[in-house]
């Protein structure tokens, strides 16, 4: 079968000059203002971009759990629109996609969080199962998404200590069976023309998920090296060039203390390509830097591979639905700090779509633009939770979609981050360079406009500059760019905005 994409093939830099994410009849959110973040007014200042490289970017992405199991029941044109929004040049062009290898959902509360598994019985497969997951994995591949990752929440129930896809743990006697299962899934998709780049064989290993609201399993520290080694050896024996990411700790605190333990207990570390952690402890700068130190000590890039569900900047975990720029700025702050404090080489948002909107989108269509306390800030795009009975297949983008796009469309794989110093209070600027093109992403977290001059060592001259912005009234809109003088740029940042500047040779 024709190869859709090769593993780590030629990287493409997409600098689209215009975006219209609300096109095609989609109901793009234009939400009203919510509570202001507590931040000081910035003063005009001069920032400097260092000539020294900090880290190389792998990609920016989101996961396909668990909305794909609902979207498979939507009209094909809506499915394609979702793929275009997430992966296409008229969307946010994610460069990473996390495909969930379902564990079968045995014992899990009924619904989209009980995904199918292709495993019928050990060694026997039905590859027609999981149509939603495979549909959007193929869409991602066809759109040329750079990094395709397959992640496991739970091993199939037949190999679990409690016989369920939630709670319990993988039986030690079945570690090799599980490794062969993962390799079988990877090999099958390769035979279908889709090369997976990474496999993540465990998720939040300290969480038992005994409540069975979703798939999951505990993986004790002592077992993590066994699983990584078995999966690594099996993939290598079959000639499957796939990197392993681990251990997907739910917090940077657990990551910093537990990863050194299991990587020191044997040779499993040699099979680890990327060290991945979640940030649900919402760490301070010291906690993020501790995670970076783990990667440096082991000589591996680190990924911030999952986060969602916060009310605002610095507010931590909490239930709320907020489609406005206020919550999107909280996301921008997290992305900036993951790159610049944790030295992450990738940022992955949790789930691309969600039905946890917290209101009746049919009876009150405008509710999708308003903050409520019943929903969750877990998605980039939302859909009607009652779609099966209402027939409503509308999509509701949030400001988080566009703010993530401020990074994902322009900070492409292979870009190198450079440190930025001297930014005014309340302004965050991250700088990336790739093949002579500079990309600056500027977050204004405050309620005041600010003018900032940025000096860039090595800025190409002459230079052309383009700018794109998301704010309360703009969605990845092309805007008037700043001025370029010698090796410096000057630009004005509106209050509560994220602006991306792309500076190229003239």
What pLDDT sits at residue 45?
61
Any idea which residue has 């986060």 for tokens?
Answer: 307
Q: What is the pLDDT of residue 18?
A: 32
Grouping H, G, I as helix, E, B as strand and the rest as coil, residue 42 is: coil
pLDDT score of 463? 79
Torsion of CA 11, 13, 16, 21, to 10 degrees: 50
CA dihedral 63, 327, 250, 285 (to 10 degrees): 130
pLDDT score for 206: 97
DSSP element (H, E) containing 411 = none
Long-range contacts of 69-73 (CB under 8 A, 24+ apart): 69/112, 69/115, 69/132, 69/133, 70/112, 70/132, 70/355, 70/383, 70/387, 71/132, 71/135, 71/136, 71/353, 71/383, 72/131, 72/132, 72/135, 73/387, 73/388
Bond before 247 cis per omega within 30 degrees:
yes
Determine the Cα–Cα distance for residues 261 and 238; give it in Å rounded to an integer.
29
**What is the pLDDT at residue 458?**
72
Report the run of H or E that residue 189 belongs to, with start and end: helix 175-191
Residues in the chain: 506
DSSP code for 403: H
pLDDT at residue number 265? 78
**How far is C-alpha 350 from the chain's CA centre?**
6
Tell me the C-alpha distance between 5 and 144, whole Å: 7
d(CA 412, CA 4): 20
- How is residue 109 annotated by DSSP? P
| Of the candidates 147, 132, 55, 142, the residue with the CA atom closest to the CA atom of residue 94 | 147
Check residue 156 and give its pLDDT. Answer: 98
Cβ neighbours of residue 124 closer than 8 Å, sequence gap 6 or more: none
Please, are residues 466 and 426 in contact by the beta-carbon 8 Å criterion?
no
Is there a contact between 177 and 229 (Cβ–Cβ < 8 Å)?
no
Residues 6 or more apart whose Cβ sits within 8 Å of residue 206: 218, 249, 250, 254, 258
The pLDDT score that the predictor gives to residue 30 is: 35
* CATH 3.20.20.80 at 70-413, yes or no: yes
The domain spans of the chain are: 70-413
Distance CA 437, CA 505 (A): 7
Number of CB atoms found within 10 A of residue 492's CB: 15
Distance CA 106, CA 113 (A): 11
CB-based contact 315:329 (threshold 8 Å): no
Token readout for 332 is 């921008």
Q: Say how far apart CA 112 and CA 137 lie, in whole Å.
A: 17
Report which of 232, 103, 113, 203 is spatially closest to residue 163, judged by C-alpha positions.
103
pLDDT at 163: 98
Cβ-based neighbour number of residue 205 at 10 Å: 25
Give yes or no for a contact between 238 and 190, defined as CB atoms under 8 angstroms apart: no
Count CB neighbours of 32 within 10 A. 11
pLDDT in tens, the chain (506 residues): 434 444 444 332 233 323 333 333 333 333 333 333 433 344 456 899 999 999 999 999 999 999 999 999 999 999 999 999 999 999 999 999 999 999 999 999 999 999 999 999 999 999 999 999 999 999 999 999 999 999 999 999 999 999 999 999 999 999 999 999 999 999 999 999 999 999 999 999 999 899 999 999 999 999 999 999 999 999 999 999 999 999 999 999 999 999 999 999 778 899 999 999 999 999 999 999 999 999 999 999 999 999 999 998 989 999 999 999 999 999 999 999 999 999 999 999 999 999 999 999 999 999 999 999 999 999 999 999 999 999 999 999 999 999 999 999 999 999 999 999 999 999 999 999 999 999 999 999 999 999 999 998 777 676 789 999 999 999 999 999 988 877 788 999 999 999 999 998 76
CA 48 to CA 118: how far, in whole Å? Answer: 52
Name, in order, each residue with C-beta under 8 angstroms of 155's C-beta and a sequence gap of 6 or more.
103, 170, 174, 178, 181, 217
**Which is it for the CA torsion 288, 213, 356, 153, positive or negative?**
positive
Alpha-carbon gap, residue 213 to 109, rounded angstroms: 6
- Torsion 246-247-253-258 (CA) sign: negative
């Amino acid at each position: 079968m024709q190869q859709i994409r090769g593993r780590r093939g030629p990287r493409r830099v997409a600098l689209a000059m215009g975006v219209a994410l609300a096109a095609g009849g989609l109901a793009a959110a234009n939400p009203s203002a919510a509570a202001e973040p507590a931040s000081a007014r910035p003063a005009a200042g001069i920032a400097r971009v260092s000539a020294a490289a900090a880290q190389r970017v792998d990609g920016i992405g989101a996961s396909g759990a668990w909305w794909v199991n609902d979207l498979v029941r939507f009209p094909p044109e809506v499915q394609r629109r979702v793929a275009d929004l997430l992966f296409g040049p008229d969307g946010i062009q994610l460069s990473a996609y996390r495909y969930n290898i379902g564990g079968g959902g045995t014992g899990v509360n009924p619904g989209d969080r009980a995904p199918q598994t292709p495993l019928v019985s050990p060694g026997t497969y039905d590859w027609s199962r999981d149509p939603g997951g495979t549909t959007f994995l193929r869409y991602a591949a066809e759109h040329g998404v750079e990094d395709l990752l397959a992640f496991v929440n739970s091993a199939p129930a037949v190999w679990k200590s409690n016989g369920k896809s939630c709670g319990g743990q993988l039986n030690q006697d079945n570690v090799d069976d599980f490794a062969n299962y993962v390799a079988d899934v990877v090999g099958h998709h390769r035979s279908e023309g889709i090369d997976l780049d990474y496999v993540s064989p465990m998720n939040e290993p300290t969480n038992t998920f005994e409540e069975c609201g979703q798939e999951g399993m505990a993986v004790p520290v002592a077992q993590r090296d066994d699983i990584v080694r078995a999966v690594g050896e099996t993939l290598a024996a079959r000639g499957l060039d796939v990197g392993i990411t681990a251990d997907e700790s739910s917090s940077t605190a657990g990551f910093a203390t537990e990863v050194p333990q299991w990587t020191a207990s044997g040779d499993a570390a040699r099979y680890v390509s990327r060290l991945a952690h979640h940030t649900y402890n919402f760490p301070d700068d010291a906690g993020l830097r501790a995670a970076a130190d783990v990667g440096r000590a082991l000589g591996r890039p680190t990924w911030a591979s999952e986060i969602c569900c916060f009310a605002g900047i610095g507010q931590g975990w909490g239930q709320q639905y907020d489609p406005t720029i206020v919550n999107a700025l909280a996301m921008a702050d997290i992305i900036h700090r993951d790159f610049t404090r944790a030295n992450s080489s990738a940022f992955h948002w949790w789930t691309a779509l969600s039905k946890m909107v917290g209101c009746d989108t049919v009876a009150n269509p405008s509710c999708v633009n308003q903050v409520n306390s019943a929903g969750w800030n877990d998605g980039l795009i939302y859909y009607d939770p009652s779609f099966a009975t209402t027939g409503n297949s509308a999509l509701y983008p949030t400001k988080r979609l566009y703010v993530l796009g401020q990074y994902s469309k322009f900070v492409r794989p292979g870009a190198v981050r450079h440190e930025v110093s001297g930014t005014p209070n309340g302004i965050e600027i991250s700088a990336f360079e790739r093949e002579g093109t500079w990309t600056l992403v500027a977050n204004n977290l405050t309620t005041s406009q600010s003018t900032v001059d940025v000096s860039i060592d090595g800025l190409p001259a002459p230079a052309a500059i383009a700018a794109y912005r998301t704010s309360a009234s703009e969605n990845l809109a092309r805007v008037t760019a700043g001025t370029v003088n010698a090796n410096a740029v000057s630009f004005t940042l509106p209050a509560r905005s994220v602006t991306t500047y792309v500076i190229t040779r003239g």
